[in-house]
Amino acid sequence: MNIPAYSLLIACLLPIVAAGLQKWGASDYDNHNPRQWGQQMNEPRRQRALAAQANSWEALIVFAAALLFALHAALDANTRDLLCMSFVISRLIYLAAYYLDKALLRSLVWFVGFGSALALIGLSIR
């Protein structure tokens, strides 16, 4: 099983999932002006989904770079796979926690995910 590839694929899909949560059940969604619609939402759950989407794009960039470092440095596969799974699981929990307004949990798992990406980079530098 190619855990780094699957992890990257899941990380790429998470912003799309967040966008889906934002639009889910919205009868007023405007596909002609989706960004304007997103900025004018006043439903807190949809606003949190929009924020989670933005953060998912940001996290994807860091994770992709970290994974490239780890693959280039030939980081131990078990360590690399564990950190990749840690990142993905924390990001899945992050997305759910953000959408459900669990602020403390969201912050804690954000640190786990970001720490996993930083660990990939740090261990690759050794």
Condensed to tens digits (0 to 9), the pLDDT of residues 32-52 reads 887 777 777 788 888 899 999
Q: For the chain, what are the domain ranges? A: 3-125
Q: What is the pTM of this model?
A: 0.91
pLDDT tens by residue, 90-102: 999 999 999 999 9
pLDDT in tens, 60-73: 999 999 999 999 99
Q: Are 85 and 107 in contact (CB under 8 A)?
A: no
Positive or negative, the Cα torsion across 54, 6, 123, 115? positive
Residue 42's pLDDT is: 80
Tokens of 52: 């989670």
Q: What is the CATH number assigned to the segment(s) 3-125? A: 1.20.120.550
Using CA atoms, how far apart are residues 103 and 98, in angstroms rounded to an integer? 7
